[in-house]
Structure 1
């Protein structure tokens, strides 16, 4: 099955299921009126919460299969690096990151909100599959491009060929291999480039996001 066809199926199916969940949510509201208190009321409240979380998860899944359409504008590259530094606070537990900024007054044409999501995904993924050692995040300019680099210490070599090129590459409970794929699509749609390689001498997985200096 082609990816566009799969994406179309997922968007339609999640839409249909969400409609059914909306119906269940209305039924739960009716039950809440019939049983306004006590254990029954608490049970209905839990049902409400579960239905709404499931619907939100499905809408989020569907959104991942929509072609990214970044709203780009000129930003100081250093400002974007500061946005990256704010992302660990959104994760629980927050990863340990050592920051190094070598940028000047360079600007890049990107969607800052979308890039913040990418930065957060990179950190979350590094934390989920890391050693617990601090991550190293750096910014610099190389060959007329702004580079945002993340170094992840690893216990064993990592094969990076094909990373981010297809969904469902690595699945575990509650996670379906969509984060890096979505990040890759977002960076590409923003005119950027993603490079990944494993440095055997330092035992680090190195991910670099590159954007042309505007």
Structure 2
């Protein structure tokens, strides 16, 4: 008697394969439409608050507006993660970029500042970069290190110039093996959870590559560590 359950092969044959650019267009359009509805809801709540007499109702409407605004911001952040990288480049000393990054890490991750062990080497040379976008990409890598499969021990960060490149190496202890390979940062939506859509690492990679740089990651099984390396070419101007 034939098995009523579908085989893995037959199930896979029903999968819908959609090119990623089409997925991006769909998500951006859906986000745009939803934000329009949320804006309308927020305006309606503001109007009702103005004509309401009850203080408790006014307070609840204020909470409703805050919630709607938060949803709109989340959608805007999502579409921003999918937007093409557009750089505004300028000459920037490699040493200054490393110092700025170290300072920003201390501010953004103030509660975990002791987690990072910095080794900033003497540097020479400049880069042609968009300092804000490149810094955001580096911060995404460190945020990823803090919150994904983190093991015991400090996160080591080395910044240096070598072979005509600015090189940032992040060595992070991992509680479990990480399948780091050539697809590292090329697999959006792989880890999706509440408020997190698996797009940060891809955005970081896209930003780094827009600077003609490279991002590589290798899992050191013996040390139970993930080693990520960012290389950005120095300019010759």
In which range does the TM-score fall when normalised by the shorter chain? over 0.9
Which residue of structure 1 lines up, in the alignment, with residue 127 of structure 2?
108
2:187 to 166, 172, 190: 166
Q: What is the CA-CA distance between 1:124 and the residue it aligns to?
A: 1.1
Map of 2:9 onto structure 1: none
**TM-score, normalized by length of structure 2?**
0.85
Match of 1:118 among 137, 158, 183: 137
Q: Alignment length, in residue pairs? A: 214
1:189 paired to 2:224: no
Larger relative contact order (CA 8 Å, sep ≥ 6) = 1
Select between 43-52 and 166-175 the one with higher mean Cα deviation: 166-175
**Greater Cα radius of gyration, structure 1 or 2:** 2
TM-score by length of 1: 0.94
- Distance in 1 between the 2:35 and 2:216 partners? 37
- 2:220 is the counterpart of 1:199: yes
Task: Give the stretch that moved more between structures: 20-29 or 81-90.
Answer: 81-90
Match of 1:7 in 2: 24
CA contact (8 A) 2:89 2:131 kept: yes
- Aligned 8 A contact 1:165 1:181 in 2: yes
Unaligned runs of 5+ in 2: 1-17
Residue ranges of structure 1 left out of the alignment (5+ in a row): none
Kept in 2: contact 1:77–1:103 (CA 8 A) = no
Per-residue deviation at 1:36? Answer: 5.5
Quote the RMSD (CA, aligned, Å). Answer: 1.6
